């Protein structure tokens, strides 16, 4: 796990970015995190940037571009899941 001081700049950049929609937010987070990207760092950045609740951030980390398998979220599922926080 990375120290928050290494992840907070990515969260701040994500919060200030001009992206719309959960899929674009997720892709931007992956880009900003670079080699530090993992499901855990993605969750942390989502929670810091948009105050996403832990369970929702955990579920978002299962998006199909990050995670394969039967429990992977589709684009539509990710949009629905994160809509309450991204619309603020």
Tokens describing residue 73: 């979220």
H-run or E-run covering 17: none
pLDDT for residue 88 is more than 70 = no
Do 58 and 45 touch, CB atoms closer than 8 A? no
3-class DSSP assignment, residue 88: coil
Q: What is the pLDDT of residues 34-85, one digit of tens each?
A: 999 998 999 999 999 999 999 999 999 999 998 888 899 999 999 999 999 9
| The pLDDT of residue 78 | 96
Cβ neighbour number for residue 44 with a 10 Å cutoff: 22
Nearest CA-CA partner of 60 in 35, 17, 30: 30
pTM of the model: 0.87
| The pLDDT of residue 44 | 94
């Amino acid at each position: 796990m990375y120290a928050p001081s290494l992840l907070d700049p990515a969260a701040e950049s994500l919060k200030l970015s001009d992206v719309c929609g959960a899929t674009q937010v997720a892709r931007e987070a992956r880009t900003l995190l670079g080699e530090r990207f993992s499901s855990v760092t993605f969750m942390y950045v989502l929670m810091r940037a948009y105050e996403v609740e832990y369970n929702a951030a955990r579920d978002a980390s299962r998006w199909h571009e990050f995670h394969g398998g039967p429990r992977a979220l589709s684009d539509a599922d990710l949009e629905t899941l994160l809509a309450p926080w991204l619309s603020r």
